[in-house]
Amino acid sequence: MLPKPDEWVNFYPPCLAVLKHRIHRGFHQPQFSQAIKVTVPYDSWPTLISPCFPPMNSCYRRLLILPFFALSPLLSSCTTHCKPEKLSAPPESAFVKTEIPVRGADPYPVWRTRSPGKPVLLLHALNGISPSTLHFALEMESWGYRVYLPSLYGDPIMEHSAFGYDMALEASKFLERDSRWNLSSTKDIGPILDHTTAMANWVSETEGHQSIAVVGNCLTGSFPIALLSEPAVQLAVIAQPAAPVKAIHQIVLQLPQGPAKSRTLSIPTNRMDQAIAAMRADPSKKIFGFHYHRDPLAAVMKFDALHRTLRNSQLEGRFHAFVLGDKKSRYENTRSSWVTQGLTEQDRTMLTPHSTLINPESLSDREWFRNHLRAILDQGY
């Protein structure tokens, strides 16, 4: 019987240890097709894992590695950057749907909560405007905020409604062909960042030119930082920023990204410079971050890099992070001036812990993160 997706890294442990080592060193780096399947050249597999087996005829050795090929469809069908949700979407009647015009692009559909309140632009994660995202928006509405939820993928998405969409793997394939997104770029996530900027300004204008808060998650986690360059955006909330996204083999084998990708926020240099200039000009602009210390999909080192950038600009006091770690975590020890750390009981797996505000596995973790977010929002912006 094949192992479960979260357990398969323990399958043939000596072989995978070698495979991890060789891939990490850069030998026979796997390539991935648009179907997100492992497509390591056939002749590379015996070289990758040959130390797992005693010397033998190459035909026998290739027979022994067939289980690795058998795992390929398993990985392509169930490995995503967001664990599938179990919730059902709330009724669409709980929201008002409209469109946001964006110059040079088709209008973006947006759903907003019905009650009045201070405006919040909530950007969805890789899996789209999922049921948990919608329920989170309604909870924020109960706190006294009016939440705008644009679908950055349009509507419909490959014949599926954007409302309640929860298909991270399909979204990955879709975005690989979408010129608005550069999922693997360390320098620029793509034109979608400019489109999101237009959305933020539209929300502010629609709400009588009020200042707004922007909350990014996972794939969009770093977007709010760039949007601070806009006068309307006063508060940036960055939750587990994951761009550039990890490759499937890095997720499955629990390999880290390289140093450049682990630390970058995929924000163009000029946009970061504009955000820093805006923060200097307006002392009320702030950034708050939410993360797990041992997130397997998004490196917490991005927070360290952001803090270093702001410190170099004498703005280190404008960023504070809330991080959950396990009993062995010491992340806060040398960062106590800008990090508040709590304890999570979640075990690290191939995909979790990752989501902080929207869909964490632990209800106590969700309460911890959301209580801090609510306190931040209630301070005013």
Kindly provide the b/e burial profile for residues 207-244, where b requires at least 16 CB atoms within 10 angstroms of the residue's own CB. beeebbbbbbbbbbbbbbbbbbbbebbbbbbbbbbbbb
pLDDT of residue 80: 53
User: Are 79 and 248 within 8 A, CB to CB?
Assistant: yes
Ramachandran region, residue 87 (left: φ > 0; alpha: ψ -120 to 50; beta: rest): beta
Residue 69, pLDDT above cutoff 70: no
Q: Give the least confident one: 77-91, 122-136, 243-257, 258-272.
A: 77-91
pLDDT of residue 65: 44
Ramachandran region, residue 273 (left: φ > 0; alpha: ψ -120 to 50; beta: rest): alpha
Mean pLDDT within 209-233:
98
pLDDT of residue 17: 41
Structure token digits, residue 362: 């632990």
- The model's pLDDT over 333-353, given as tens digits with 9 standing for 90+, comes to 999 999 999 999 999 999 999
| Spatial separation of the C-alpha atoms in residues 153 and 156, rounded to whole Å | 8
Mean pLDDT within 72-81:
45
pLDDT of residue 68: 44
What residue segments make up the domains of the chain, in order of their start?
8-78, 92-378
pTM: 0.81
Residue 18, pLDDT above cutoff 50: no
Q: pLDDT band at residue 55, thresholds of 50, 70 and 90?
A: very low
- Above pLDDT 70, what percent of the chain? 78
pLDDT of residue 85: 87
User: Are 240 and 354 within 8 A, CB to CB?
Assistant: yes
Structure token digits, residue 265: 């926020």
pLDDT of residue 359: 95
pLDDT of residue 81: 60
Mean pLDDT within 98-104:
97
Top-confidence residue, 33 or 341: 341
Of 192, 216, 213, 228, the C-alpha closest to 356 is 216
Mean pLDDT within 130-159:
97
Residue 53, pLDDT above cutoff 80: no
Cα 152 → chain centroid:
14
Q: pLDDT band at residue 203, thresholds of 50, 70 and 90?
A: very high
Domain 92-378 falls in which CATH fold? Rossmann fold (3.40.50)
Name beta bridge partners: 325: 343
Mean pLDDT within 76-103:
82
